[in-house]
Structure 1
Amino acid sequence: MDAGDLIGRDTIERGRHLARQDRWIELASEMRAADRARESAPDGLPIADLLAFGARSDVVLAAEHALSDIRAISEYDLLAGVSELEGVMQDHPDNPMIALIVALTHIDLAWAWRGTALDSTLPPLHRSRCAAHFDRAAKLLPGCKKRAADSPAIAAADCALLAGQRFTRARVADQYERLIALDPRNHRHMRAMGSHLLPRWFGSYEELEVQALRNAANTRDTWGVGGYTWVQFDAIALDEEACARLDVEYFLEGMRDIVDRVPDQQMINLLASYCAITMQNGFGLSDRADLVRTQVCEAAQWLIRDHLTELHPLIWAHAASGFNNSVRINSPERFAARGQRDALRAIRDLFRDELRSGTDVTFTPTGLQLTSH
């Protein structure tokens, strides 16, 4: 397990521990400090979000467990935990971070009720409970924003709420633009915007392209033209038509700008695994998209040959699932081992000719070293 993953896990545990000990003021203070400093784990997950996730995890996991077994569902079990959190919020009415934890709990519970069923097969009880939790979160967040208008964590929760609201189409880009302006160095916000601008959510292919270009202009000081790449990053992996329409030369120019500005190994592993693994997954579904995928996949060549000095197996493992944060990881060790295998396979394919000729490929702090026998 790499250091980046340990930071994330330790931060979640910190949030869980403080909540279990009823040390809410201390938790809120740590969240606010991290939020103001725009602190994030190496994978881009904001520290404030990780603390908040830990703080509500007991409540959310208990609800998910109950909902996984129809015989276990009872109103008391599902409402007791969030009712306690509502009580904590009432005890601290002016604390926006505590209110944020409660709002995020309601969003999580809404998704737990929603599950993975199709709209047409979702039971009426599940539909109404999902809507009620989203509505409660929507009532809480304006107060949070009023008390902490400069908070990326609250702005991100506002964006997360979009999925549960009925009339959001015109507001999506504006909401994300506000979030990105508050925290332009965090690529996860841009990636989420791109996904939500797909037609399957709230946008269109035309709007996705326009907003990607707009984001590149707005974040040029931070990312060069990498802002275009980040907005398109997950969208083109999810949607064949979005992939087919991509300005691939501009996308790859943005990728080089990202590497120039953030050349650390966390970022190199993210981009290399995306090109070598994630973008390989959709081959064969669309001839037009395949032309784009081929060019993006080829970027793995220069990323690995010129910039990779160490492997981060968990990043490669996540790449295989399209960096889907909802993927359940039962065994981090097995998950990391799978990522290690995927990474080594990609490197072996990349250096196939050299390996066949008897050349050894070795990682060094200055890059990959090729040694002939």
Structure 2
Amino acid sequence: MTMIDALPSIRSLTRRLLPTKAATPSDVHDLIRERAAAVPPMRPRVEIPVCDVSPEEQALVALHERGQHLARQENWETLCREMIEAEHGRAKTPGLTPVAQVLAEGARADVLEAAKSAVSKGEPRRAFAAMASLEINLDDMPECFGFASVVAMAHVELAQMWRGRTPLRELSPQIREAHDRHMRAASQLADRFEPFAADAPLLAMLRCAVISADVAPSERLADDFEDLIDLDPTCPEHMCAFGRQLLPQNLGSWEALELQARRVATNTSDIWGSGGYTWVWIGALEQDIEAVRRVDAETFTSGLHDILEQCRDQHMANRLAAFTGVTMAAGQNRDASHSRIAHCFGWIAQNHLREIHPGLWAKAPAPWYSANNEPEAEDAAARGKARALSTLASYFAPQLGQHGRITFGENGVEIV
């Protein structure tokens, strides 16, 4: 085709793209406004250090690998000794995770990985056979609560694999039997030991993990979690786990959730102020965002202040910034309680946040993020960093317009 041959088609395309009449200045301005509206506004630039691998993540990896190594070497005596010492000393990672818990997770990791394949193929017998490599050692150390906890929690996690997210009543008979069999095995091991006599929060945590296997789980829920929190009140995750179980769709009710949150706050006030109330509700809200309609927002907010007064480290600042900024993200059609809690992100970011820990932002439940607005990232760390920077930029944008800069440093936040 020559250039002359192409002219008719070019003219035809031009007629379709250009107006049929001369454009007026008003038409031009309307077109400019229309195209400008289609381009998303620039967000302010956020300059804040990013800690790609936080001290908490370093500790978790090291402890997990330690437990896994000792299990592979079948050095159970050393594993038990280290777990018991950690329990009696209430040893924690920088993010307040119990050291013994992480050692136990590493020790059972290989067995669970082997059993996962059997679960995925619907082979209960093969899953139990994988557990035999652990259980065979129980007779050699019947008094070691550390090793018993490793085996029992492996059974609990296998039961959870069989169940997935399906309600128990909807499981097929074969799957329900596999689930129940693992839970019974875990419960029998838990019954061998008394948490207070052993001075072991890990055993109290195990008792809480097998509550659902009881014939009347709701009746023992409060007592078992009260024991756990009494034994280890400095661990926030125990209180969060209590909040999850207190949801009506689990083993509790709205009334019980509010009552127990206030009881936990009273019992832990010497450590957390009113933060115990907040931790219990954080656990509930991270699982069911609609629970916000029931929370006392003022008490919750007071608890946030008390938590950050007690724990001034960047792990806690990131944990609560991600919760308020991502999980509780403010937006349209939010009630007063929801907005009150979501807007706490501002003072947490300004007064406490000095660096980003991407892992915490990546793990934060994000009910308001969809496939369309979730930051694209190849891995969890990149996704967490994108979430954090996007949330900070969105929050500070109204103060800065389109071209501002926010700098986070040791002396606070500078807005330019």
The TM-score, its normalising length taken from structure 2, stands at: 0.81
The alignment status of 1:21 with 2:70, answered yes or no, reads: no
Whether the 8 Å contact between 2:124 and 2:178 is mirrored in structure 1 is: no
Q: What residue is the counterpart of 2:358 in the other structure?
A: 313
Match of 2:194 among 145, 157, 162: 145
Letter aligned with residue 97 of structure 1: G
Report the Cα distance in structure 2 between the residues aligned to 1:357 and 1:113, rounded to whole angstroms. Answer: 50
Unaligned runs of 5+ residues in structure 1 are 323-331
Q: Name which of 390, 395, 416 aligns with 1:350.
A: 395
Identity of aligned residues (%): 37
- The one of 185, 207, 221 equivalent to 1:172 is 221
Would you say 1:274 and 2:331 are equivalent positions? Answer: no
2:267 equivalent to 1:196: no
Q: CA deviation at 1:108?
A: 1.4
Gap regions ≥5 residues in structure 2: 1-52, 368-376
Q: 1:234 aligns with which of 267, 271, 283?
A: 283
Q: Say what the alpha-carbon RMSD is for the aligned residues.
A: 2.0
Paired position in structure 1 for 2:98? 46
3-state secondary structure, aligned to 2:252: coil
Contact conserved, 1:99 with 1:144, CA < 8 A, in 2? no
Query: Which of 62, 79, 90 is equivalent to 1:10?
Result: 62
Where 1:144 maps in the other structure, the secondary structure is coil
Is 1:133 the counterpart of 2:182? The answer is yes
Whether 1:90 and 2:139 are equivalent positions in the alignment is yes
Query: Which residue number in structure 2 is paired with residue 208 of structure 1?
Result: 257
Aligned residues: 355
Rounded to whole Å, the distance in 2 between the matches of 1:146 and 1:227 is 22
| Deviation by residue 1:300-340 (Cα, 9 ceiling, x = unmatched) | 00000111111111111111457xxxxxxxxx971010010
- Using the alignment, how far apart are the partners of 2:289 and 2:321 within structure 1? 20
Secondary structure, counterpart of 1:369 in structure 2: strand
> Could you tell me which residue of structure 2 aligns to residue 329 of structure 1?
none
Q: Deviation of residue 175 (structure 1)?
A: 0.6
- TM-fit CA distance, 1:341: 0.5
Letter in 2 for 1:274: F
Higher relative contact order (CA 8 A, sep 6+): 2
What one-letter code is carried by the residue in structure 1 that aligns with 2:111? V
Native 8 Å contact 2:115 2:131 kept in 1: no
Is the partner of 1:40 in helix, strand or coil? coil
Q: 1:95 to 1:240 in 2, by over 3 A?
A: closer
* Maintained 8 Å contact 1:216/1:225: yes
Deviates more, 1:8-17 or 1:105-114: 105-114
Larger Rg: 2
When residues 203 and 276 of structure 1 are mapped into structure 2, their CA distance, relative to the original with a 3 A threshold, is: same
> TM-score, with normalisation over the residues of structure 1?
0.90
Alpha-carbon distance, 1:242 to partner: 2.8
Task: Give yes or no for contact 1:237–1:243 (8 Å, CA) kept in 2.
Answer: no
Q: Does 1:122 align with 2:171?
A: yes
* Aligned residue number for residue 44 of structure 2: none
Q: Which has the higher helix share?
A: 1
CA offset digits 1:265-289 (Å, max 9, x no partner): 10011111100001129x67xx6x6
SS in structure 1 opposite 2:132?
helix
Q: 1:57 aligns with which of 109, 127, 143?
A: 109
Encode CA deviations 1:199-238: one digit per residue, 9 max, x unaligned: 1111110011111111111101000111111111121343
The alpha carbon displacement at 1:365 in A equals 2.0
SS in structure 1 at match of 2:354: coil
2:86 counterpart residue number: 34
State the match for 1:111 in structure 2. Answer: 160
Give CA-to-partner distance per residue, 1:174-220, whole Å, 9 cap, x none: 11111101111111111111110111111110011111111111101
